[in-house]
């Protein structure tokens, strides 16, 4: 088990190389965790600047209202929502690490140590200064407690806070006594570089291995499952599709509308994925296997749902940071992160498979959508009647919304 202190993750963002490493270790079944106290410190670190910025924005809007003589002349601002903000960041970090929950006795011991200024706690500001360090004590005791509760595991405690925790060579009391009996399987590291040296040594890159692997149909299918969040279909969104028109697309086809870009509700059915290329390739030896990380470009193509009884052949591009290995169990791809789907460039449109580009919509075709062109229905299947009914209701509502917005614009 690798247990991280707050300072190791202080400036980590979801798209950083550190985040990639942590996800890689997790994908390789190497446990990485943080004490609950660390998770809350990280969430507060992200939330407090939001609270301050919100207060400044509210003050600026109030000042603006003083100078606007008519009603509604200044923008409105939602109430500050700290719990939602904290929840967002908790979830973000928990995608990279596990969380070790403390028990009541551990927290009581941490507070006792602060009250009595027992290491790693201390007093700041001289003899009459404030006592501090209960959170440090809770972090330390969580790591030590985990080691005691899991006698068959080695524990690697990683902290750059050498001022309070030391560098692993010697400890003051009672920290020294905390380690009695577990010294041979409790290791104190002071940086993620030490973690990389132990668990993720650089490996030689085979330039042909990854492109060949990612071009396989079975690998594409695994990636499609992993990327389902970024390939929303109406079936997965249900009635909420109408309220989430945010799927960027480029229209395909041979008519005058080909190449237009827009925003759709969702894919009608799961789109086809095509591997287009890789960049920024690295390789590490983790858990006895070579793990490749690369930025992968994929094209998604199929039919997107538009407002009104309408759907159109379209495509978009996904750029995902992918972790891939291959062992006796087969290919194991994991998506570390992915950018929102984007529209295609003119040059990229020419590289989309032609499966979808030779279809022309029939303006007299009835709705619901159970009369797709043969090459589409054979590949994706048509909607069942219950789903078609939901689609029809949704589209009718979409038409009403479009009509309302058109009247508003006309005024």
Encode pLDDT of 390-402 as tens digits: 444 544 444 444 4
**pLDDT confidence of residue 309:** 57
**pLDDT confidence of residue 113:** 97
pLDDT digits (tens, 9 = 90+) for 118-154: 999 999 987 778 999 999 999 999 999 999 999 999 9
CB 266 within 8 A of CB 247: yes
Q: Which of 151, 141, 148 is nearest to 174 (CA)?
A: 141
Fill in the DSSP letter of residue 329: T
How big is the CA angle at 141 (ends 157 and 195), to the nearest 5 degrees? 5
Q: Which of 313, 281, 323, 320 is nearest to 298 (CA)?
A: 320
How big is the CA angle at 337 (ends 334 and 343), to the nearest 5 degrees? 115
The partner residues of 299 in beta bridges, in order of sequence, read 274, 317
pLDDT digits (tens, 9 = 90+) for 274-321: 999 999 999 988 877 888 889 999 999 999 988 765 888 999 999 999
Task: Give alpha helix (H) positions in 150-191.
Answer: 162-165, 175-178
Residue 38 vs residue 374, higher pLDDT = 38
**pLDDT confidence of residue 245:** 66
Sign of CA dihedral 202, 204, 205, 210: negative
CB 144 within 8 A of CB 182: yes
pLDDT digits (tens, 9 = 90+) for 21-77: 888 888 888 999 999 999 999 999 999 999 999 999 999 999 999 999 888 888 889
Q: Which of 157, 158, 154 is nearest to 191 (CA)?
A: 158
**pLDDT confidence of residue 298:** 96
Residue 176: phi and psi, rounded to 5, are -65, -45
Residue 308: phi and psi, rounded to 5, are 85, 175
CB 119 within 8 A of CB 173: yes
Q: Name residue, tokens 């299947």.
A: 381
361 confidence band (pLDDT: 50, 70, 90) = very low
Mean pLDDT, range 233-240, rounded to an integer: 64
The mean of the pLDDT values for the chain is: 83
Residue 140: phi and psi, rounded to 5, are -60, -45
pLDDT digits (tens, 9 = 90+) for 157-187: 999 999 999 999 999 999 999 999 999 999 9
CA atoms within 13 A on the CB side of 324: 26
Q: Which of 190, 159, 165 is nearest to 178 (CA)?
A: 165
**Residue 94: how many CB atoms within 10 A of its CB?**
12
Residue 339 vs residue 18, higher pLDDT = 339
Buried b (16+ CB within 10 A) or exposed e, 289-324: ebbbbbbbbbbbbbbbbbbebbbbbbbbbbbbbbbb
Query: Does the pLDDT at position 404 exceed 80?
Result: no
Task: Supply the DSSP string of 189-253, one letter for each residue.
Answer: ESSHHHHHHHH-EE----TTHHHHHHTSHHHHHHHHHHTGGGS-BHHHHGGGGGG---EEEEE-S
Tokens for 121? Answer: 């706690």
CB 306 within 8 A of CB 395: no
For 161, 179, 195, 199, 317, the CA distances from 189, given in Å and listed in that order, are 10, 15, 8, 13, 41
372 confidence band (pLDDT: 50, 70, 90) = very low
Q: Give percent of the chain with pLDDT exceeding 70.
A: 83
CA distance 131 to 31: 34
């Amino acid at each position: 088990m690798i247990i991280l202190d707050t300072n190791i993750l202080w400036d980590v963002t979801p798209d950083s190389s550190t985040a990639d490493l942590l996800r890689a270790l997790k994908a390789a079944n190497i446990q990485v965790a943080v004490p609950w106290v660390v998770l809350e410190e990280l969430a507060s670190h992200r939330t407090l600047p939001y609270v301050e910025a919100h207060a400044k924005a509210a003050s600026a809007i109030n000042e603006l209202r003083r100078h606007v003589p008519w009603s509604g002349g200044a923008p409105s601002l939602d109430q500050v929502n700290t719990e939602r903000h904290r929840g967002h960041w908790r979830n973000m970090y928990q995608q990279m690490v596990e969380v070790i929950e403390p028990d009541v006795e551990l927290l009581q011991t941490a507070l006792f140590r602060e009250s009595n200024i027992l290491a790693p706690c201390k007093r700041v500001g001289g003899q009459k200064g404030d006592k501090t360090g209960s959170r440090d004590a809770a972090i330390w005791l969580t790591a030590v407690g985990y080691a005691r509760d899991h006698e068959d595991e080695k524990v690697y405690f990683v902290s750059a806070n050498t001022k309070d925790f030391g560098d692993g060579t010697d400890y003051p009391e009672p920290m020294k006594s905390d380690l009695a009996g577990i010294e041979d399987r409790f290791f104190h590291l002071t940086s993620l570089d030490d973690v990389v040296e132990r668990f993720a040594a650089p490996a030689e890159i085979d330039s042909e291995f990854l492109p060949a692997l990612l071009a396989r149909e079975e690998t594409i299918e695994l990636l499609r499952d992993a990327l389902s969040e970024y390939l929303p279909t109406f079936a997965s969104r249900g009635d909420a599709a109408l309220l989430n028109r945010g799927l960027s697309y480029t229209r395909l086809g041979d008519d005058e509308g080909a190449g237009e870009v827009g925003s759709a509700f969702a894919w009608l059915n799961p789109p086809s994925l095509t591997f287009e290329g890789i960049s920024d390739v690295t390789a590490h030896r983790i858990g006895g296997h070579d793990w490749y990380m690369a930025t992968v470009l994929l094209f998604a193509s199929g039919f997107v749902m538009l407002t009104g009884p309408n759907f159109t052949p379209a495509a978009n591009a996904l750029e995902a940071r992918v972790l891939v290995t291959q062992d006796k169990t087969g290919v194991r791809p994991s998506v570390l992160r992915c950018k929102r789907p984007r529209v295609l460039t003119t040059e990229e449109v020419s590289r989309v498979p032609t499966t979808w580009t030779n279809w022309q919509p029939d303006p007299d075709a009835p709705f619901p959508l159970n009369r797709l062109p043969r090459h589409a229905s054979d590949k994706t299947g048509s909607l069942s009647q219950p789903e078609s009914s939901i689609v029809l209701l949704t589209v009718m509502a979409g038409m009403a919304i479009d009509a309302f917005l058109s009247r508003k614009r006309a005024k």
